[in-house]
C-alpha cells in the first residue's frame, strides 16, 4: 500500500523553519521504506544587478535609461512593429531580441554596445558595475 508522508512547518522565523525542514528531510532520507523525498524549498539562485556608473555613462554620452532599455531588449526582447503581407490574413509581429548564445551570461551582456550621443559605441561593461545577489525565494502558503 502506498502512503504519503507530509510535514508542514509554520512559524514566524523563516530561517528557523528552513533549519527544521533540513532536519526533517534528513530524517525522511534515513527512514527505511521512505523513497522520493522532496520539498518545496527552492535552491539559491543568483541574481545580477547592473548598476550604472553615471559618471562614466555621462562622459560617453549615454543615459542610465539607455543602458536599462538596452539590457531589457537584449534579455526580454520587444515588439518592433508589424509586417503586412498582402498574401497573409493576419499581420506578423516583428520581435527583436539578442540571440540566446549572446545573452546567456553576464559577460555576454557586458559586451553589448550602446550608442552614445556622439555616435560612439560603448560596451555596457564599461558603463556598469555588476552586483551578484541571491534571488528571493517563493514562500508557499496553504490555502
Mean pLDDT of 18-41: 90
Cell 528557523, located at residue:
16
Question: What is the chain's mean pLDDT, rounded?
Answer: 90
Helix (H, G, I), strand (E, B) or coil at 29: helix
pTM of the model: 0.69
Burial (CB count <10 Å: 0-12, 13-18, 19+), residue 124: buried
Kindly tell me if the per-residue pLDDT of 104 is higher than 60: yes
Residue 46 half-sphere exposure toward CB, CA atoms < 13 A = 7
Q: Cβ distance 131 to 48 under 8 Å?
A: yes
Average pLDDT over residues 101-125: 93
Q: Which three cell numbers stand for residue 48?
A: 545580477
Q: By C-alpha distance, which of 77, 1, 66 is closest to 33?
A: 1
DSSP 127: T
Residue 100 has pLDDT above 50, yes or no: yes
Calpha distance 39→88 (Å, rounded): 49
Amino acid at each position: 500500500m502506498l502512503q504519503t508522508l507530509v510535514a508542514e512547518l509554520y512559524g514566524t522565523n523563516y530561517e528557523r523553519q528552513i533549519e527544521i525542514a533540513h532536519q526533517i528531510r534528513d530524517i525522511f532520507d534515513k527512514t527505511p521504506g521512505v523513497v522520493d523525498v522532496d520539498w518545496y524549498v527552492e535552491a539559491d539562485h543568483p541574481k545580477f544587478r547592473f548598476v550604472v556608473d553615471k559618471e562614466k555613462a555621462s562622459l560617453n554620452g549615454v543615459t542610465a535609461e539607455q543602458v536599462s532599455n538596452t539590457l531589457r531588449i537584449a534579455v526580454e526582447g520587444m515588439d518592433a512593429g508589424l509586417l503586412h503581407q498582402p498574401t497573409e490574413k493576419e499581420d506578423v509581429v516583428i520581435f527583436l531580441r539578442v540571440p540566446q548564445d549572446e545573452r546567456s551570461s553576464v559577460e555576454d551582456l557586458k559586451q553589448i554596445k550602446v550608442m552614445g550621443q556622439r555616435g560612439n559605441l560603448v560596451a555596457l561593461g564599461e558603463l556598469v558595475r555588476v552586483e551578484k545577489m541571491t534571488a528571493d525565494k517563493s514562500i508557499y502558503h496553504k490555502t
